[in-house]
Structure formats: C-alpha cells, structure tokens
Amino acid sequence: GLTRLDHVGIACRDLDASIEFYRSTYGFEVEHEEVNEEQGVREAMLRINGTDDGGATYLQLLEPTREDSPVAKFLARNGEGVHHLAFGTGDVAASAAGIGERGVRVLDSEPRTGTAGSRIVFLHPKDCGGVLTELVQSAH
Ligand code: CMX
Ligand code: CO
C-alpha cells in the first residue's frame, strides 16, 4: 500500500531562483539535484522531514529542460505552481496494478526512473480529481 507523502512537485521557470526562495523564506536546504532527460526536467529535492520508515518528505522543484516536456507544457498553460503529488510505496508495480484495476489510468505501463534511482509511475489527473499523482518506490 501507500505509506507516506513522498513529495510535492512544483513547476518553476528558474530552478536556482526557486531554490533560493525556499532556502531564504523557510530554511529548506537542497539534499539532491539532478537532470532527468527522460522526464525533461532539471530538479532539486528539498527535504522537509524524516519518517519512521526511513523515507522522508520533500519538495521537488522542477524546471523544464525542453519545450515539449510535461513541465514546460504545464508552465505555458498555468504558470508556476503545484504540479503533482507523489505517494511512497514499497512496491510501485503492485500499487499501480491495484489502482489501475479500479479504473484509474496509469500513464506508465512499466515504472520509469525517478529521482536518485527511484522507480515511478504517474496516474492521469483527470481520473484523480484534477491532481496529477505519482507513485514512487525509493531505491533503498
Ligand atoms: N495537474 C492537473 N491537471 C493537469 C496537469 C497537472 N500537472 N497537467 C495537465 N493537466 C490537465 C490539463 O489541465 C488538461 O485539462 P483540460 O482538458 O480540462 O484542459 C488535461 O490535463 C490535458 O492537458 P495537456 O496540457 O493537453 O497535457 P497532456 O495530456 O499532454 O499531458 C499528462 C498531461 C498528465 C498526461 C502529462 O503531463 C504526463 O504524462 N505527466 C507525467 C510525467 C510528468 O509530469 N513528468 C514531470 C515530473 C517528473 C518527476 O516528478 O520526477
Ligand atoms: Co515527482
């Protein structure tokens, strides 16, 4: 099952400016930064808290790397803001299969690679009350 909120993904036009806002306003620090070419993002993970199961909760700041990426399309339509929620699971394939059986469209037939080698799938926002939802199984 789903055990925690893993992260809130936030679309931004300027990753460095967004990182500086969260650092100077709230004191959140970058734990990890990477480029994910498959997803078309440059991203930073800012840890908010730890949890008993060893997972943590993050803000994921997302700057598009190309114009045809999901985050670029979102920014063009909506401007900067909350882009998706991600729930943590110990078995992303099993969680996605169970949710898919309930009629929710699973956008990835096989899990893809997310932050720091995690395995991720997305659920269609139109089947989730307008919320783009990600399921994530951390690498460790
Ligand atoms: N949240 C809520 N609704 C969204 C949305 C979002 N982030 N993105 C699109 N939508 C809605 C649009 O508002 C639109 O609704 P209407 O038809 O009512 O206007 C509808 O979905 C279709 O929008 P679109 O702009 O035509 O977008 P697409 O269908 O081309 O793509 C989606 C939408 C969700 C399938 C695509 O963004 C996707 O596959 N996302 C998953 C991958 C991803 O987002 N990667 C980046 C993050 C990586 C990470 O977290 O690591
Ligand atoms: Co995400």
Task: Give 48 Cα–ligand 1 centroid separation in angstroms.
Answer: 25
Tell me the whole-structure pTM to 2 decimals.
0.95
Residue 124 DSSP label: -
Residue 38 DSSP symbol: T
> Over the stretch 29-73, which tens digit does the pLDDT of each residue have?
999 999 999 999 999 999 988 765 566 899 999 999 999 999 999
Domain limits for position 85: 2-137
Question: Cα(32) to centroid of ligand 2, in Å?
Answer: 13
The count of domains in the chain is 1
**Ligand 1 atom nearest residue 77's Cα:** 25
Q: For the domain that residue 105 is a member of, what is the CATH number? A: 3.10.180.10
CB 45 within 8 A of CB 30: yes
